[in-house]
Amino acid sequence: MKSTSFFMVYAEGQQTPTYKHTDVNEAEREAKRLSEKLDCKTYVLASIKSVERIKFAIEDCRPDPDLPF
C-alpha cells in the first residue's frame, strides 16, 4: 500500500516540526514566512519512506464459492 507523501518545515534552532503539509508549495510558503518571522534558516523536509510494524496479517482463505464441492 502506497502512503501519501508529506512535507514539514524545520526552522534551525527552533522546536521540532509538527505540521504535515500535503503540498510542497504550501510548505515552501510556510518556510519563507517562518524564516522571515524568526530570522533563521528554514528547511522543507520531504517524507521518503514509511516504516510500520504489523503484528498480525489476516488473510481470508475460504474457498471460492463457485467451486463444485
How is residue 57 written as a grid cell?
496479517
Enumerate the β-bridge partners of residue 64.
none
23-63: per-residue pLDDT in tens?
Answer: 999 999 999 999 999 999 999 999 999 998 989 988 888 77
Q: Which three cell numbers stand for residue 45?
A: 523536509
CB contact at 8 A, 31 and 44: yes
Whether residue 28 contacts residue 44, with contact meaning beta carbons closer than 8 Å, is answered with yes
Q: What is the pTM of this model?
A: 0.73
Q: With beta carbons less than 8 A apart as the criterion, state whether 40 and 31 touch.
A: no
Q: Where are the domains of the chain?
A: 1-69
